[in-house]
Structure 1
Amino acid sequence: MSKQLVIVLHGLIFLLFLPFLLKAQDTATAGLPAQWTLQQCFDYAMKNNIQLNSLRLSRLSAEQDLLLSRAAKLPNLNGTATQNINGGKSVGAGGGTGTYEITPSGTYGVNSNVTLYQGGYLNYDIKQKSLQTQVAGLNVATQMNDITVLITQAYLNILLAGENIVYVKDVVATSEAQVKQGQQQYDVGTIALIGLVQLQAQLSNDRYLLTTAQNQYRQNKLVLKQLLQLPSSYDFEIVSPDTLMSSTHLYALQEVQDSALANRPEVKSSELGVAVSSFNLAKAKTGYLPTLTAGGGLGSSYNGGSGNSSYFKQLDNNFYQQIGLTLSLPIFTRRVVKTNVEKAKLEVDQSKLTLKDTRTNLSQTIEQAYINVLNAQAQYDAAVEQLKYSQEGYRIATEQLKVGAANIVVFLQQKNLYIQALQSYIQAKYNAALNIRIYDFYRGTPVKL
């Protein structure tokens, strides 16, 4: 088969399946909005995030373990039925071989047992499984908090890049007008060729900045798409708020730390972890205690050999009932119980260290967030002032350039200072907005724009 024919066949196959591929894409993106608010991002992620759903399944599994633990206090019930067919020749009274006979037989029964006492093991196990179910739920809440912070950061980064594009486009448009004016001035001999070349180089640099800003915008959108786990073929935009208001009140560090230590799910999970390990120690100690179980059974049997009574008569005659108690007392366990107890004690100590580490890390994280807010606010105030003066300097240099009273090198220096100040201002504004929201989030304030 020729290479051209293979290419044609592949093209026909692609065209044949194209409608199905497009339909599959439409199905995957059906119902998704064209524009997303921050709250919509939160709601979608909380419902569809794979890590979250995996933790939810773990919580459901923990609930099943709890139900199983509770059911261990109930008696069980087992039924058995055995049916046999035996074949063989009988032996006569004189030692001769008799006729071949087939003899049916069977046994039937039910039995049950229940644990009456096991040193409190079953009760400890129920309480432990209940706490583990709560821990699984707190793990879900912790993951939700982590996703909330990541989505907020990604969303604000998109807004930052989008606003940067708007400003850089304005700078490019101004540069294009300046190059056009410079060309006219060069044509009439008002400026030298080097001046025109410098203006053209500045325009190329501004266009490069615009391309970089657009690439960053696309990259930030991809980060948010990955966090939301949206289909790769789906394109979307985010809703820009009218104003990016930030809280003007900065809560005291100690107040936020106390609130977080009392309410954050990771802290509660670690606290419950200590209780879980304590119950594990209590369960291990029950190995020193006796176990008392009660059991009973009903059963009957029959044998269909010659000379035996009827089937139902045999079942009635062979019917038996049994009930009893069993006491099991550990005397020598080859250190099994002692080892379990000692390891459980180590587990308690480890869980206490984990709790201390969780509290310490959270306190330090909040302190760092507090410092970030102070730094971001200071940077924002400085950026506002820097932008104010650089913008004025750029305006004056532009007016001087129009009338031919400005040196082009000085003008370009003022313009670059303005661009740097503008980008610093945008970065500082969104950095301040992000850090104050993260800091307030540790206190329990929902994230809003």
Structure 2
Amino acid sequence: MKKSIIIALLLCGIIGYSQEKKWTLLECVNHALENNISIEQSELDVDLADINKSQSLSNFLPTLNANGSYGINTGANINPATNQFENNTFRSASGAINSGVNIFSGLANWKTLQRAKINKIAAEYRLDKMKDDISLFVANSFLQILFNREQLKVLVAQNAVTKENIGNTEQLVEAGVLPQGDLLELKATDATQLQQIIAAENALFISKLGLAQTLQLEDYEIFDISDEDYGLIASEILDKRPTEIVEKAKEEVNDVKIAQTNFELAEKDLELARTSYYPTLSGFLGYNTRWASTQVNPFTGEDISFVDQLYLFDGTSVGIQLNVPIFNRFTTRNNVKRNKVEVERSKFLLEQAKIDLESTVYQAYNDAKNSKKSYEAALQTEEARKLAFEYAKERYDVGLSNAFDFNQSRTAFENAQSDVIRTKYDYIFKIKVLEFYFGLPITDLN
């Protein structure tokens, strides 16, 4: 019994801990970077690029191969030991070991190694870009949850005020101060607000579900983010000139880096295609030996032993081989032309990437400035709507205004509150995007 109570308490503690787990933005981003499938695939691309680089280094080494054979021959066959026809049944074996080395091939191995190094850098840039994209997506999803949560809080608070007004209106209707229609109008407003609350709760759940799936978490129902009240983040980034942010972005953002490495890869591919114009020179060294079961020593008339035959019939070969390309149906020339086109294409893509980055940064800068203005305007509107609502409520409470006018003022105030929440988180995200282009961490919301 005692043991069962202890186990139950432990289980309750574990369940309570899992339910109380609140994810911060930093935890969400780090978890996504460690578990996202797209990032894991990009990491595999880096591994493959590293393998290709290792193979390019290995191409400088000589080759070494060994081979052997054993057979039984009947009838007229060439004896591998004497190279004479024999109409006899005999067994034979042969073995060889050969080595080759590339002396000159138009520097193809050297250029292949250079290309492999660039390709690995390009794979790392693509991995970094994938991480940046995931971080931005997670941050946006995180802020969407904050927005939906605050929106729900506002709706619940507004509904509480409406229910309070219903209670006061019932008393005024009973006293004959207000007509029954005003009470019905408030009850209809209460029902509408309850529908809005349900929709807001659903939006909050969907946003949590989306982030949990991005993080590849299985416990969707208990996933939640921290309850911290995130205020406005500092906006010193807006004090910098857009050109300064653009120059910093070229160093921090991977889009231009990827386009640059793709251009360098295209240049290396062109250089590799041109190596096919050059002759190739290679060296080789080999050793071989053979044995046959019917070999007889002409002096003693005895069969020559296996070991003696290996020494008697062995041989070596050493030399160099030159291969000069003369005509290959214009294959090399067309490959060179094709790679020239790819170099020009990559060059244009690099220039376009620089233009796109500059345009994106300027757009992000303007979006951040305008979102700040929108938020400040929304605050002013909310303050004005709040005063108007309080005035309308005072008039309604003493019977100087009807329910329709009161609801109009209340709706305008509610819309102003929603605009404040929307513009606040829109401003925060756009500031973080601009800071991202400047190389600042996106996980810092305070």
- TM-score, structure 2 as length reference: 0.89
Distance in 1 between residues matched to 2:230 and 2:288, nearest whole Å: 82
- 2:334 alignment partner AA: T
Question: Deviation digits for residues 24-53 of structure 1, max 9, x if unmatched?
Answer: xx9xxx999821000001110111000000
Specify whether residues 33 and 128 from structure 1 end up closer, same or farther in structure 2 by C-alpha distance, changes over 3 A only.
farther
- 2:364 alignment partner AA: A
For residues 25-424 of structure 1, the aligned pairs below 5 Å read 34-87=21-74, 102-231=89-218, 233=220, 235-249=222-236, 250=238, 251-305=240-294, 307=296, 308-424=303-419
Question: Deviation digits for residues 314-371 of structure 1, max 9, x if unmatched?
Answer: 1111110111100111111210110111111111111111111211211111111111
Specify whether residues 108 and 43 from structure 1 end up closer, same or farther in structure 2 by C-alpha distance, changes over 3 A only.
same
Distance in 2 between residues matched to 1:88 and 1:341, nearest whole Å: 55
Corresponding residue of 2:81? none
SS in 2 for 1:321: strand
Corresponding residue of 1:14? none
Specify whether residues 410 and 31 from structure 1 end up closer, same or farther in structure 2 by C-alpha distance, changes over 3 A only.
closer
Tell me the CA shift for residue 101 of structure 1. 6.8
Unaligned runs of 5+ in 1: 1-25, 91-99
- 1:283 alignment partner AA: L
Q: Report if aligned partners of 2:212, 2:220 keep a CA contact under 8 Å in 1.
A: no
SS in 2 for 1:237: coil
Corresponding residue of 2:437? 442
Distance in 2 between residues matched to 1:89 and 1:410, nearest whole Å: 117
Distance in 2 between residues matched to 1:235 and 1:361, nearest whole Å: 41
SS in 2 for 1:398: helix
Distance in 2 between residues matched to 1:140 and 1:31, nearest whole Å: 32
- 2:370 alignment partner AA: N
Distance in 2 between residues matched to 1:394 and 1:445, nearest whole Å: 42
What is the aligned length?
A: 413
Distance in 2 between residues matched to 1:33 and 1:192, nearest whole Å: 49
Q: Report if aligned partners of 1:124, 1:282 keep a CA contact under 8 Å in 2.
A: yes
Distance in 2 between residues matched to 1:156 and 1:295, nearest whole Å: 67
Q: Which moved more, 1:324-333 or 1:217-226?
A: 217-226
- 1:350 alignment partner AA: R
Corresponding residue of 1:17? none
Tell me the CA shift for residue 306 of structure 1. 5.7
Specify whether residues 84 and 33 from structure 1 end up closer, same or farther in structure 2 by C-alpha distance, changes over 3 A only.
farther
Distance in 1 between residues matched to 2:221 and 2:30, nearest whole Å: 18
Q: Which residue of the other structure, out of 397, 422, 426, is the alignment partner of 1:427? A: 422
- 1:303 alignment partner AA: A
- 1:426 alignment partner AA: I
- TM-score, structure 1 as length reference: 0.88
Q: Report if aligned partners of 1:117, 1:291 keep a CA contact under 8 Å in 2.
A: yes
Distance in 2 between residues matched to 1:32 and 1:264, nearest whole Å: 38
Distance in 1 between residues matched to 2:177 and 2:19, nearest whole Å: 58
Tell me the CA shift for residue 241 of structure 1. 3.0
Identical amino acids, percent of aligned pairs:
25
Q: Report if aligned partners of 1:158, 1:217 keep a CA contact under 8 Å in 2.
A: yes
Q: Give the alignment's Cα RMSD to 1 decimal.
A: 2.1
Specify whether residues 339 and 78 from structure 1 end up closer, same or farther in structure 2 by C-alpha distance, changes over 3 A only.
same
Q: Report if aligned partners of 1:244, 1:433 keep a CA contact under 8 Å in 2.
A: no
Distance in 2 between residues matched to 1:242 and 1:54, nearest whole Å: 36
Q: Which moved more, 1:236-245 or 1:157-166?
A: 236-245
Unaligned runs of 5+ in 2: 1-13, 78-86, 297-302
SS in 2 for 1:254: helix
